[in-house]
Structure 1
Amino acid sequence: MRKGEAKALYKSDLSDHAVNIKKSMRKGSDTISFTKTKSSERIVRLDSKTYALITPLKATEGLYLFGDEEPLSNTTIQRIFDKGIKESGVKSIRIHDLRHSHATNLINAGANIVAVSKRLGHSDISITLRVYTHLMKRSEDELIAILEK
């Protein structure tokens, strides 16, 4: 999910191991608007570990899943993210890199590219293919290995 989509999540958008993405906060604005495109509106299912981590946030005060009566500011999000990165020992990355890594891991694990594209909220599979084609090249070698058997 995009950072603006996460910032705009209300507690009511989290239910039954999924988040309902139907709004976003544009970069540089704290105003909620519709998602980037109609296809960006989606329900994203969560794995059990992620769901268990964020479910307690529903019990806190306020409207927003990540915040209270107001969403977390970009500065606060970045500070929390930087602290987590430092504690984990991971090299410095951007928040958006998490989205890219998520898609990359799914594709490398053999996930259906159409399903990944829908999960990312891309308006067209060609966007997903253009961004992640470099991952498919390794798959070509695997195809040849299968044909050689």
Structure 2
Amino acid sequence: MTVWKPKGSPFYYCSFVVKKQRFSGPTKLANERDARAFEKRWKAAEKRKLDLHGALHGRDMTMLDAVDRLTKEKVQQNGRAPYRDRDLDWLVEHIGPETKLSEIDAGTIAAVIEKRRQMCRWDDPKYGAVRGGTITQSVLRPLSALRNRAIDVWKIPLPDMPKLSMYFGEPYARTRELSIREELALLPECRDYRDLVEFILRSGLRRESALIRKSEVFLEEGRIKVWVKAKRNKKLLEIPITPAIDRIIRANIDNPTDFVFTYRKRTKNGVVAMPITSSGFFGAFKAAAARAGIADLVVHDLRRTAGARMYRATGNIAAVSKFLGHASVVITMKHYVHILPDDVSIAMRAAEAAHGDLVAKALANETLH
């Protein structure tokens, strides 16, 4: 690598060779140290371009280059990155930025999953180990997308890298629900957040979506219209206002803020109503569960409970899926509807009773004839 300043020029020039190709030109920098740093970055960028060009013709690619390319192509395709930068950075760091995709095998994947599983939520031991859903979203799905893109689009053969879908079947899905007895113990301990907890149990909304504004409530139409999380962006979800939801909203809507749900905050001027925030609700809910003596309960369990209770009351999985705003019934069945042994027993007894009725009717018809 060479850096020099031509006579009469205020800027430094540089020249270097990458894979038998020479690159040279002005750095447009007047400081030699800055020019050398520019040259280093330029050379690294040209090397990466040549590696990517080679990959297009069936050659291998490093983990770092593959992640960069996957992100760029997904942004061009969908207008946004499908995975969080911190998750991708973590994968690159623990698999190795210079590790070739062809070097990733089942052992590599198992090792990185185990590393993630041993980590704590929010890097704090008091919150316990990360949950299965976090491992799926932060490790398995990005790696699966990377593998599929490399094989199907970039035409890179990866004979040793297994399908990541084989790991999705591990017992990661959370099945925790709130029992009626726990609900009766929890609600009095929620204090200012009690109505919000009841609202989520009735509406099935996620924590962020449940913090509705007054402008999203249409009491005359009997609807709440709120933008909720979707696969690629957001979508408008209409929540019917049932008598229970109507009671909750009317008890909270007459406050001086733009939001329906508030909490009381002490200030120098007295007690004022403040909108409930997502993070504030998280902490308050955790404290309420501890006061009620309820272990292993998080806010999202309220949404899961709402879906499970509706399914057990109606048996209509399609209605539950629409109620929860899922794009597919498969998502509902996998993550929110858990058939317990008691449910199976009840269904079996109902089937036997129905069969007995059919037999009795058949015998009655034969007697009449």
TM-score by length of 1: 0.70
Equivalent in 224, 227, 244 of residue 49 of structure 1: 244
Give yes or no for contact 2:206–2:300 (8 Å, CA) kept in 1: yes
Equivalent in 333, 338, 343 of residue 129 of structure 1: 333
Equivalent in 225, 229, 232 of residue 20 of structure 1: 225
Structure 1 vs Structure 2 CA RMSD:
3.1
Deviates more, 1:134-143 or 1:106-115: 134-143
Q: What is residue 10 of structure 1 aligned with on the other side?
A: 213
Cα displacement string for residues 85-129 of structure 1 (whole angstroms, at most 9, x for unaligned residues): 356554451010000011111111124111110110101111112
Q: What is residue 64 of structure 1 aligned with on the other side?
A: 259
Q: CA deviation at 1:80?
A: 3.4
Distance 1:85 1:54, change over 3 A: farther
SS of equivalent to 1:109: helix
Give yes or no for contact 1:40–1:122 (8 Å, CA) kept in 2: no
Give yes or no for contact 1:20–1:42 (8 Å, CA) kept in 2: yes
Give yes or no for contact 1:40–1:123 (8 Å, CA) kept in 2: no
Q: What is residue 32 of structure 1 aligned with on the other side?
A: none
**Cα distance between partner residues in 2 of 1:94 and 1:117:** 21
Structure 1 stretches of at least 4 aligned residues deviating more than 6 Å after TM superposition: none
Give the number of aligned pairs: 136
Q: CA deviation at 1:143?
A: 4.6
Equivalent in 221, 230, 248 of residue 36 of structure 1: 230
Distance 1:64 1:47, change over 3 A: same
SS of equivalent to 1:41: strand
Structure number with the bigger relative contact order (C-alpha 8 A, sep ≥ 6) is 1
**Cα distance between partner residues in 1 of 2:275 and 2:330:** 32
SS of equivalent to 2:238: strand
Q: CA deviation at 1:144?
A: 3.9
Q: CA deviation at 1:51?
A: 2.3
Q: CA deviation at 1:75?
A: 3.5
**Cα distance between partner residues in 1 of 2:297 and 2:256:** 31
SS of equivalent to 1:135: coil
Deviates more, 1:122-131 or 1:88-97: 88-97
Aligned residue type for 1:134:
H
Which of structures 1 and 2 has the bigger CA Rg? 2
Distance 1:137 1:11, change over 3 A: same
SS of equivalent to 2:260: coil
**Cα distance between partner residues in 2 of 1:83 and 1:133:** 27
